[in-house]
Structure 1
Amino acid sequence: MPHRYLLFYKPFDVLSQFTDNSQPPRSTLKDYVPVRSVYPVGRLDHDSEGLMMLTDHGALQHRLSDPKFQHPRTYWVQVEHVPSEADLEPLRRGIQIQGYHTRPAHVALLDQEPDLPPRDPPIRVRKNIPTCWLEITLTEGHNRQIRRMTAAIGFPTLRLVRVAISHLRLEGLQPGQWRDLTAVELAPLLGEMRSSNPRISS
């Protein structure tokens, strides 16, 4: 049976797993994705939103999840206050947080607020405190890494949306929607995997 490869727009306050034993139960992927035997490639915190990939192809899941392969993941991040270029330099060089030093990240200040669906519930805005949006691309994924990075330089994260995994983009999906990858989207992922290990089949 062919493997399945899905893209999913995870809404805010949804766990990036299919089961939850807490009481009361929280919203999970099972509430949105009616496809059996697929598993998330990496995770998004419950209070983060955006693009997830799910698959039943174990070798590809491992390759995309393992930090040593350095697959880029891009986020739009709303923070309190407006950092200067000098403020962002520690993130670009790598910064010490929670006992480890992050890899250098691509960080840019967005010129305008990105076109995203409203968050439900909306962020809590503090009067007289400006906010802005950053685009941050990582090649690793430690627990709550971006939130810790922006907090370390004095700009707390208010909203976090993953907009890309490698060349895969969030465009065309709304929160809670999913779709299969196209053959064109899938080909580079499988080609890269085979080139590193010709014995792996798709």
Structure 2
Amino acid sequence: MTPTPHRYFVLNKPANMVSQFVSSDDVRLLGDLDFDFPEGTHAIGRLDNQSEGLLILTTNKRVTNLLFQGEVPHKRTYWVNVGHIVSKETLQRLRTGIPILVKGGVEYVTSPCEVEVISRPEILSKHQNETWENVPNTWLSITLTEGKFHQIRKMVRVAGHRCKRLVRASIENLTLGNLAPGQVQEIQEEEFFAALKIENWFQQH
């Protein structure tokens, strides 16, 4: 019997939705989307309830290990809206590493990462979580290779700013593109792994 080919999807996850199909809590689920996912589909590299943007879904259970637990770290880029103007000194603090509390109340210094001030991304729709236009605010692009629990929110908070909106724009070369919030796009297997720079997948299969 020939095994069923794996399938791969990218979603622009809207805010106020969890990255799962089942929950005991009264929350919006991935199954509420207007898309017929095949049995066995699950999310990879989850986004929290309030965060938005690029979410990978697949029927291939090996992707988690290949993407997030391999020897080569994979870059993830986020668009982050914070209150007030971010100074050059604060940008440098964020880039070089900043202490945050992680599991167990342990202090952890984040790894160096890329942080730049950007214009508001044009593809984003307006959202109630976003800072009002007449209130000083800054959009940042933050690219990192690690993903501690609520890491970016904690980083900007320690640096003296409140994270108002957090959107994952890309994982390596897999990007949000022009997907509207709640929209799903299926990707072919070879394109999927090439974009994520998981090059040894096809050498093993």
Q: Which amino acid aligns with 1:142?
A: K
Q: What is the aligned-residue identity percentage?
A: 37
Alignment correspondent of 2:181 = 175
Residue 13 of structure 1 pairs with residue 20 of structure 2: no
- Single out whichever of 157-166 and 86-95 deviates more from structure 2: 86-95
Residue 192 of structure 1 pairs with residue 199 of structure 2: yes
Alignment correspondent of 2:100 = 97
Return 5+ residue gaps in structure 2 as ranges.
Answer: 102-106
Alpha-carbon distance between aligned partners in 2 of 1:128 and 1:56, rounded to the nearest angstrom:
44
From 114, 126, 139, the counterpart of 2:121: 114
Question: What SS class does the counterpart of residue 199 from structure 2 fall into?
Answer: helix
CA contact 2:66–2:198 (8 Å) conserved in 1: no
Alignment correspondent of 1:28 = 29
Alignment correspondent of 2:104 = none
Alpha-carbon distance between aligned partners in 2 of 1:185 and 1:109, rounded to the nearest angstrom:
31
Alignment of 1:66-85 (within 5 A): 66=69, 68-85=71-88
CA contact 1:60–1:193 (8 Å) conserved in 2: no
CA contact 1:63–1:69 (8 Å) conserved in 2: no
CA contact 2:130–2:165 (8 Å) conserved in 1: no
Alpha-carbon distance between aligned partners in 2 of 1:48 and 1:40, rounded to the nearest angstrom:
14
From 145, 159, 182, the counterpart of 2:165: 159
Alpha-carbon distance between aligned partners in 2 of 1:114 and 1:9, rounded to the nearest angstrom:
14
Q: CA deviation at 1:175?
A: 0.5
Q: TM-score if structure 1 supplies the norm length?
A: 0.87
Alpha-carbon distance between aligned partners in 1 of 2:143 and 2:184, rounded to the nearest angstrom:
23
Return 5+ residue gaps in structure 1 as ranges.
Answer: none
